[in-house]
A and B are shown apart, each in its own frame.
Chain A
Amino acid sequence: AQKVTQAQTEISVVEKEDVTLDCVYETRDTTYYLFWYKQPPSGELVFLIRRNSFDEQNEISGRYSWNFQKSTSSFNFTITASQVVDSAVYFCALSDPSGGYQKVTFGTGTKLQVIP
């Protein structure tokens, strides 16, 4: 069965600090997709990144970077030089063939608070 674990419930950092959000996943399939979403206080989930199971390249987008390691079933997200606008709940998610890829399993989320 699919499972996504985000062990960090809440993190507080001071502005300009770097912060890493952890995500560990479980799936029996060899083909799957991993995602990160951001949910600011306004409520709308914003798609940040998709990674498929065959692509272990790390990705950087501005201050955001993602580290995908199949060996440890982890897909961690780092924000460099955090800003107040980064304050949000961040969800890691997984989809695999068991749900036709449309059934997404979300982690419980990590609430990030960036203090000015």
Chain B
Amino acid sequence: DTEVTQTPKHLVMGMTNKKSLKCEQHMGHRAMYWYKQKAKKPPELMFVYSYEKLSINESVPSRFSPECPNSSLLNLHLHALQPEDSALYLCASSQADSSYEQYFGPGTRLTVT
């Protein structure tokens, strides 16, 4: 199984809402990632979890809060977002100690109104 799944596919939220993005993989990978991608730009790394511990935080604002409940699941909790946070949010997974190619989910297209 080489699939990474993400829910929801689309999300519209107001600036005062709280919502969560979910990601799941069953490839036995021990590294999981959140990326943000704006139109016509490459993905920007937000967070990396390695063996369920946060290993990289790319100075992301605290209105984004990641969580890794277990080795297969990754969440991104959203609170008090700004319209400029509207983007495609991509989850990925990879081996933690070798190979390092990342497998991406289909993304959640987020619109903040």
Which A residues are within 8 Å of any B CB, using their own CB? Answer: 33, 35, 37, 42-47, 50, 91, 95, 99-104, 106-109
Contact = CB atoms under 8 A, between A and B. Distances in A.
A100 B50 CA distance: 10
A46 B102 CA distance: 9
B101 interface: yes
Nearest to A47: B101
A35 B101 contact: yes
A100 B100 CA distance: 10
A108 B42 contact: yes
B101 A50 contact: yes
Nearest to A99: B56
Contacts of A100: 50, 55-56
5 contacts: A44-B106, A45-B104, A47-B101, A102-B48, A104-B100
